[in-house]
Structure 1
């Protein structure tokens, strides 16, 4: 059985190009707004500014409120 002595060709990786801010900014704004809406529902949805009546939202996010340190009862 013959053995090959040829060395494998070196592979080169393509040069990394930085992402432009214009490409990231809309996604950052979108996810920032989503996080603010989630923070509202977890932290404040049950008082005078309640969007939904009843305790439905409060019950869905009850454990999240305690995990994040919001008092609820």
Structure 2
């Protein structure tokens, strides 16, 4: 039994879309600020520098503190 190989079809090169630097910078700033806020709540929201009174925030991020190496008790 003979096998037939079809010739490769003509393909056009795929050109990736270029994002403007302004779009990349705005998303980078957004995620940077978001990460700083999350780092604050995980690492420093307790004691003298707390924004919220009580221990609710501490309890929500307690395991994340230990996972990231922040002391909490």
Under TM normalisation by the shorter chain, which class is it?
Answer: 0.7 to 0.9
Runs of 4+ in 1 over 6 A off after TM superposition: none
Q: 1:63 to 1:5 in 2, by over 3 A?
A: closer
Range moving further from structure 2, 57-66 or 9-18: 9-18
Q: Give the length in aligned residue pairs.
A: 71
CA RMSD of aligned residues (A): 1.9
CA distance in 1, matches of 2:63, 2:57: 12
Q: Deviations over 1:11-69 (max 9, x none)?
A: 12332354332220000000000000000000000111211111100000000000000
Question: Could you tell me how far 1:6 is from its partner in structure 2?
Answer: 5.2
What is the TM-score normalised by the length of structure 2? 0.81
Q: 1:71 to 1:5 in 2, by over 3 A?
A: closer
What is the TM-score normalised by the length of structure 1? 0.81
CA distance in 1, matches of 2:45, 2:5: 71
Question: For structure 1, which runs of at least 5 residues remain unmatched after alignment?
Answer: none
